[in-house]
Chain A
Amino acid sequence: MRPALNLRTLVTVVLIAALVLLPLYTGLSGNRFLLTLFTRIVILAMAAVSLNLMLGYGGMMSFGHAAYLGIGGYAVGMLAHEGIDSGFVQWPVALAASALFALVIGALSLRTRGVYFIMITLAFAQMAYYMFAGLARYGGDDGLTIYKRSQFVAPVDLSNKTQFYYICLALLFGVIYLVWRLTNSRFGLVVQGARSNDLRMRAIGFPTYRYRLVCFVIAGTLCGLAGALLANQTDFVSPSIMYWTRSGDLIIMVVLGGMATPFGPLIGAVALLVLEEVLSGITEYWQIILGPLLLLVVLFARGGIDGLLTNLSGKASGQGRS
């Protein structure tokens, strides 16, 4: 057990160090593209961390998590379009709108279980997609250009790419810490108990529905923050930010990196997005490789990278013993 922990910890520490030092490298080498790519990775990792709270710890298999990226993003975009560009207004609105949407959708979809839950969360996310696509005032299908990033007080400047990267990274670590605290709190144990055995939780005296709902809302709200960041990064928001395949990508990140582990979604996000980048460098039709690859991972390498790390460590310790 201990070596597995060490290898995973090693990978995590190296990854964090690399993320922290990245702007140094891109600054020296002048590779701006890498910084843009990793800003995006960090933001989507934050979305994956929020999904992990609900999917990994809570066992709620939502296929609509990208909706909150869209709502957070549109909160920024629509307010900016109306001339309100203070981040002190935009970001709280992004969080509140995501929380409200999650509350309504969660209250409905948590009445069901299993495959129903998957389909319903997907359907409601798609409803949000069509709703934004129907808003002609805000660009409809074509989306909305954001001419000015969210404004904060003096030293903070989101237009500075390095600064923006570090803000995203700091928020990501903040969210990871928050989720870690949550999952070890009384609340977190209730949510994990409900994942494990909901009937038993009710039998020992927990009204599990409301705990799951609160978990659903927290996860959605945190993802809304990621959405606000994403809109700032791309200076643009359109319905495609919340297209359902994006929800699928987030699930892949969580599963690939290790469900119900604090840093798993980050590892998964880096792995998936870097892999996409590499594959799309090889061929224009890169998804024809990614699709079957994903299939192979599901069929033959359950547990993704997380499982791989555990296996490798297991083998290493096995050899050590013999």
Chain B
Amino acid sequence: MSGPGNHPMLRVQALAKRFGGIVATDDLSLSVAEGELHAVIGPNGAGKTTLIAQLSGQTTPDSGRIYFAGADITTLPMYKRSRLGLARSFQITSLFLDLSVLDNVALAVQAHTGHSFRFWRDARSEPELREPARAALARAGLSARADQPASALSHGEHRQLELAMALAGSPRMLLLDEPMAGLGPEESSAMVAMLRALKREVTILLVEHDMEAVFALADRVTVLVYGRAIASGTPDDIRANAAVREAYLGESEDAHV
């Protein structure tokens, strides 16, 4: 165990999910220690996004259990998981495009400040929503864009906003679904720097295609192929693992040229 904490923040036990005849997750077990940055890699179709979907509550697994901070969350709806402190970002940018950038983040803050059946007071002038939202935007480097509509941002800024929203609720754990997808080299390294700054402060499960980023950031790496974990270990272990090289790394280099 090379993770910094001792208690697993997230524990997945014998998870399985199929869609018709296709096995998306196959008897998958993994655990992420508190404070750890755990990367999940694998070729296209390995079931990475399906895994995130099951962890976040978007889809229910056919069998197996998911524990978060000791509690069984296998059948909990999405919004309850989020309230427990399990936040996610989306692979395909998923924002409130017709609201302002600050509104986007403020909504994420609002989600964690009790119920929203408050009908009268102007929510845009409530400091307890606006200030944390501004702080999260500042961390994501988007302060200057706060009052623009989210639709006006560039792709790279959308990814930053995704992250700011995931952070806004002060989550205990982040599920990041390919945060570097579609980013240019400069934007990528900015994102890596941002994630590095977050590391230790919050537990992270990172699904990512960008090998350089994964090996630079991860404490531990799990390799998925056809929904199965074929290897799990430190980045060095994984680099050295013959099965992984055969099943994945070779192919991935082709895919990335």
> Is residue A280 contacting chain B, with contact meaning CB distance below 8 A?
no
CB pair A197–B165 under 8 Å, yes or no, is no
Residues on B with beta carbons closer than 8 Å to the beta carbon of A181:
119-120, 122
The interface on chain A, measured as residues whose beta carbon lies within 8 A of the other chain's beta carbons, has a size of 25
A residues adjacent to B (C-beta < 8 A): 181-182, 184-190, 192-193, 196-197, 199-208, 211, 214
Q: A205-B169, A207-B79 are in contact. Are A185 and B110 (CB under 8 A)?
A: no
B56 and A203 within 8 A (CB): yes
Which single residue of chain B is at the shortest CB-CB distance from A192?
B99
Q: Are A204 and B118 in contact (CB under 8 A)?
A: no
B169 and A203 contact, CB distance less than 8 A? no
Checking B107, B126, B168 against A201 with a beta-carbon cut-off of 8 angstroms, the contacting residue is: B107
Contact B110 A203 (CB under 8 A): no
Q: How far is the CA of A206 from the CA of B106 in the complex (A)?
A: 13
Chain A positions within 8 Å of B111 at CB level:
204-206
| B82, B96, B118 pick with most chain A CB within 10 angstroms | B96
> Is the beta-carbon distance between B58 and A193 smaller than 8 angstroms?
no
Q: Which residues of A contact B58 (CB under 8 A)?
A: 199, 203
- The minimal Cβ–Cβ distance linking A189 to chain B, given in whole angstroms, is 5
**14 pairs, A vs B, C-beta closer than 8 Å:** A184-B124, A185-B121, A186-B121, A186-B129, A187-B116, A190-B110, A193-B99, A196-B96, A196-B97, A203-B78, A204-B82, A204-B168, A205-B112, A207-B77
Which of the residues A184, A193, A197 comes within 8 Å of B122, measured between beta carbons?
A184
Q: Is the CB of B108 within 8 A of A189?
A: no
Query: CA–CA, A205 to B83, complex, Å?
Result: 6
Query: Which are the 3 A-B pairs with shortest beta-carbon distances?
Result: A205-B82, A205-B111, A196-B96
Complex-state Cα separation, A58 to B98, whole angstroms: 13
B 90-107 binary contact with A (CB < 8 Å = 1; else 0): 100011111100010011
> How big is chain B's contact interface, by range?
35 or more
CB distance from A5 to the nearest CB of B (A): 16
Q: Is B19 an interface residue (CB 8 A)?
A: no
Binding site for A on B (CB under 8 A): 56, 58, 77-79, 82-83, 87-88, 90, 94-99, 103, 106-108, 110-112, 116-124, 126, 129, 165, 168-169
In the bound complex, residues from chain B placing their C-beta under 8 Å from that of A204 are 82, 87, 107-108, 111, 165, 168-169
Docked-complex contact B98 and A202, CB < 8 angstroms: no
Set of chain A residues within 8 Å of B90, measured between Cβ atoms: 200, 203
Q: How far is the CB of B28 from chain A (nearest CB, A)?
A: 21
Q: Is the CB of A186 within 8 A of B116?
A: yes
What residue in chain B is nearest A182 (Cβ atoms)? B119
Q: Are B165 and A184 in contact (CB under 8 A)?
A: no
Contact of B94 among A184, A187, A192, A197 (CB under 8 A): A197
Given A196-B98, A204-B87, A204-B107, check contact A187 B117 (CB 8 Å). yes
Pairwise interchain contact A205-B79, C-beta atoms closer than 8 A: yes
How far apart sit A196 and B118, CA to CA, in the bound complex (Å)? Answer: 20
Please state if B107 and A193 are interface contacts (CB–CB under 8 Å).
yes
Q: Which of B77, B79, B165, B168 has the most CB of A within 10 A?
A: B79
Contact yes or no, A189 B107, CB < 8 A: yes
Q: Which residues of A contact B79 (CB under 8 A)?
A: 202-203, 205-208
Assess the A203–B82 pair: CB atoms within 8 A: yes
Residues of A within 8 Å of B126, CB to CB, are 186
Pick from B58, B103, B107, B118 the residue with the most CB of A within 10 Å: B107
Interface centre among A181, A187, A214 (most CB of B within 10 A): A187
A196 vs B99: C-alpha distance when bound (angstroms): 8
Of all chain A residues, which has the CB nearest B162? A200
**A185 and B118: CB pair below 8 A?**
yes
Residue of A nearest to B112 (CB): A205
CB of B145 to closest CB in A, whole Å: 17
- Taking A185-B119, A197-B96 as given, write out 5 further A-B residue pairs in contact, using a Cβ cutoff of 8 Å, ordered by the A residue number: A190-B107, A193-B99, A196-B99, A203-B90, A205-B169
Please determine whether A185 and B94 come into contact, CB atoms closer than 8 angstroms.
Answer: no
Whether B82 lies near A211 (C-beta < 8 A) is: no
Q: Across the two chains, which residue of chain A brings its CB closest to B168?
A: A204
Interface centre among A182, A202, A204 (most CB of B within 10 A): A204
Do B94 and A186 have beta carbons less than 8 Å apart? Answer: no
B221 to chain A: closest CB distance in Å? 25
- A residues less than 8 Å from B78 (CB atoms): 202-203
A107 to chain B, nearest CB (A): 17
Identify which of B116, B119, B123, B129 contacts A206 (C-beta below 8 A).
B116
Alpha-carbon separation in the docked complex, A66 to B241 (Å):
67
Decide: A203 and B88 in contact? CB cutoff 8 A.
Answer: yes
CA of A193 to CA of B99, assembled, Å: 8
Query: Are B117's CB and A202's CB within 8 A?
Result: no
